[in-house]
A and B are shown apart, each in its own frame.
Chain A
Amino acid sequence: MKVLIANRNEIALRIQRACRELGLSTVAVYTEPDRSAAHARLADQAVNLGPKQAYLDIDAILDAARQTGADAIHPGYGFLAENAEFARAVEHAGLVFVGPRPETIALLGDKLSSKQAAREAGVPVLPGSDGPLPLDVPVELAQKIVFPVLVKATAGGGGRGIRLATSPEELFDVIAAARKEAKAAFGDDTVYLESLVQEARHIEVQILGDGEGKVLCFGERECSIQRRRQKLIEEAPAPRLSRKLRRDLCEAAVRLGSRLKYRSLGTVEFLLDANGKYHFIEVNPRIQVEHPVTEMVTGVDLVKEQLLLAMGKPLRMCQRDIRTQGVAIEARVLAEDSEQGFLPATGEIIYLKEPGGPGVRVDSALYQGLNIGMDYDSLLAKVIANGKDRRTAIQRLERALNEFQIGGLPTDLDFLKQIIESKPFRKGEVTTTYLDSFAPRPPERKEDLQRLLALAAALYIHSQRAVSQPIPQDRKLATRWMYTAWREQMTGAW
């Protein structure tokens, strides 16, 4: 079987690896700005789709599948992964879509219908307008609801298309602004209201369904460390959850999955409020960025299981076989300047040294010489560390982030280290608003190290200037006088 991977960056490589282990051939697709991307040259075949938006071009991708004789298409995450029309087109072309049925994707893509499905499955949902707001919102509405309240776009999801109204006075303005934004971003201005959970934790449950009602649960992940509603650090299992709550969350996710006769991998997202009550948010019908933490604690290769199911194989395990062991934490390394308001950064990867050693996994598609542009998102790499307990996992993650050397452009590595060093994170006591008040401190002044670096810099520049004059020099030593200094040291003449 041949699998076309309709994605780029680390997730494309991740899926290629699973395919290779299963003996499946792989087809990569790439765009003009991604001509030299790693995923394009590491697959068995690669097809140029065209301009930078072409990862969203359904016809071009189906053409690529036809040209290469691919049997299946894996969408990865982002791009077309949650596009029901794409899934339908893939199946219509007689190919296997590695993901849920198109109807399931469509149902879950509409945030109101997915909420309705959760309610029907007996999964607690947040109170709200339970239907789209009419164009003329009755004035009495503002009196009836509890503030603050969220105004959400039905076509949103993944943290997008959400606005907050804090008082009845501003409600109507916020609704109007949310409609305008939703129209611009999703081409659909339908919005609804949902009550805001303050001090909430983001907990999500990984499921895998066979499409016939059998659904497995691979435990939960906590993803409360978010910035502008985008996850930055994720871990499995969620710290400080009672055994009962953990079981309840799993059962709720499985109940919803079974009701939908869910096929393939999915993530059921919940908010956990300060009273320990959980509320359904949405289902992500695809592989998630943070899936490796679950893989590390369960020992299951989720992408492989997903591919096997898509090939028509039955589930290879039952719920009893799924046990979690230890703790795994993932940090997302992004090309951005934490000191400049987290602006996405661009540049060439001048130097690269990825971490390794016990309990460390790096998912990336980086190489020295790669140019990071502005065309796609800023994810450079995911560093995942595990250990027998949370303390060990944190120690390893910290060590791994310190080993990670990326030269040529700014990254959030230092910011990530500051978060995992912080007390609330260490105690596992963070909520989704934790980073709102977490200011990155300026880089630590290491006076002594800086003095040494100043010396190194001067010696380096000096040797460069010396090289431009014809001075014979030992290749291994920076300058000839350095060599002399070294010799004198060796002979004790210094």
Chain B
Amino acid sequence: MPRYVVSINGQEYCISLDGDQVLIDGQPVDVELLQLNDSGLYSLSRDQETFELHLHNQDPETLEVLAGGQRFFARVETPQRHLRKRPNTEQTGLVTAPMPGLVIEVLAEPGEMVEAGQCVLVLESMKMQMQIRAPIAGRVTDVGARFGQQVDKGAMLVRIEEL
């Protein structure tokens, strides 16, 4: 019997397809997914309720789902796979430039203590100013950008050492 574990917004659902029957967390449900075209448009219905969905594979296991004016991500795995690999969510203290830009403010100095989420640097690209925040709390060990410097995407900006 094919079974899948689907995670959306941190919530997990166990879905099994038993012949013609669909079970979610062990409960049978009566749903229909109708493919409308070849570019990902579907209609989903349960009883008289209907939804228009757009489904798109970001990678073999992750779907981008557009529904009801919102964007969701669904991770679909087999139970075996789901148990085997836990996502690696460990945050590092390396802060890199998320886009190319001009450094218009440097708010951290080596040796300084910063809180997680604290703004350490401000980048400007086109008319957008972006506050670059510390991913973790700790001590700043290295600042890789100067005021007025043009940095490339991925350039090292600040390194923070977790204490």
- Interface residue ranges, A against B (CB under 8 Å): 78, 158-160, 177, 180-181, 184-185, 228, 230, 341-344, 350-351, 368, 374, 376-378, 401-408, 410-411, 413-414, 417, 443-447, 449-462, 464, 475-478, 481-482, 484-486, 488-489, 494
Contacts and interface: CB of A to CB of B under 8 A. Distances in A.
27 contacts: A180-B147, A184-B148, A185-B124, A341-B130, A344-B130, A350-B40, A374-B100, A377-B127, A378-B128, A405-B69, A407-B64, A408-B56, A408-B64, A413-B69, A445-B9, A445-B11, A446-B68, A447-B11, A449-B68, A453-B53, A455-B44, A456-B55, A457-B63, A458-B15, A461-B63, A478-B35, A482-B32
B152 to A, nearest CB: 11
B2 interface: yes
A184 B147 CA distance: 9
Contacts of A378: 126, 128
Contacts of A350: 40, 54, 56, 64
A456 B15 contact: no
Given A184-B102, A408-B64, A489-B30, 11 more contacts: A351-B39, A351-B41, A401-B69, A406-B71, A447-B11, A449-B51, A458-B17, A460-B55, A477-B35, A478-B35, A481-B17
Question: Residue among B35, B61, B64, B105 with the most chain A CB within 10 A?
Answer: B35
A407 B13 contact: no
A476 B70 CA distance: 25
Nearest to A475: B35
B76 A458 contact: yes
B153 A478 contact: no
Contact of A461 (B4, B29, B69, B126): B4
A461 B40 CA distance: 12
B33 A407 contact: no
Contacts of B19: 481
A159 B4 CA distance: 51
Contact of B125 (A368, A374, A450): A374
Contact of B33 (A159, A464, A482): A482
Given A404-B69, A476-B35, A453 B8 contact: yes
A450 B9 contact: yes
Interface string B119-161: 0000011111111010000000000000110000100000000
B63 A460 contact: yes
A343 B42 contact: no
Contacts of B6: 454-455, 457-458
Nearest to B99: A374
Interface of B: 2, 4, 6, 8-9, 11, 13, 15, 17, 19-20, 22, 24, 29-35, 39-42, 44, 46, 51, 53-57, 61, 63-72, 74, 76, 98-100, 102, 104-105, 124-131, 133, 147-148, 153
Nearest to A459: B33
Contact of A457 (B34, B76, B148): B76
Contacts of B4: 458, 461-462
Contacts of A481: 17, 19-20
Given A344-B128, A455-B22, A494 B30 contact: yes
B9 A344 contact: no
A180 B104 CA distance: 9
A145 B8 CA distance: 55
Contacts of A78: 127
Nearest to B13: A454
A405 B24 contact: no
Nearest to B40: A351
A343 B22 contact: no
Contact of A181 (B8, B31, B104): B104
Given A450-B11, A451-B24, A407 B66 contact: yes
B56 A462 contact: no
A411 B22 CA distance: 34
A476 B127 CA distance: 46
B71 to A, nearest CB: 7
B1 to A, nearest CB: 11
A417 B105 CA distance: 31
B54 A407 contact: yes
Contact of A377 (B41, B70, B128): B128
Contacts of B148: 180, 184
B56 A453 contact: no
A59 to B, nearest CB: 22
Nearest to A481: B20
B24 A351 contact: no
A450 B127 CA distance: 37
Closest 5 CB pairs between A and B? A402-B69, A457-B74, A454-B13, A454-B6, A458-B15
B69 A403 contact: yes
A457 B71 CA distance: 13
A486 to B, nearest CB: 6
Contact of B65 (A403, A451, A456): A456
Given A351-B39, A478-B42, A454 B8 contact: yes
B57 to A, nearest CB: 8
Contact of B133 (A341, A450, A454, A457): A341
B147 A453 contact: no
B127 A160 contact: yes
B71 A407 contact: yes
Nearest to B43: A456
A459 B15 CA distance: 9
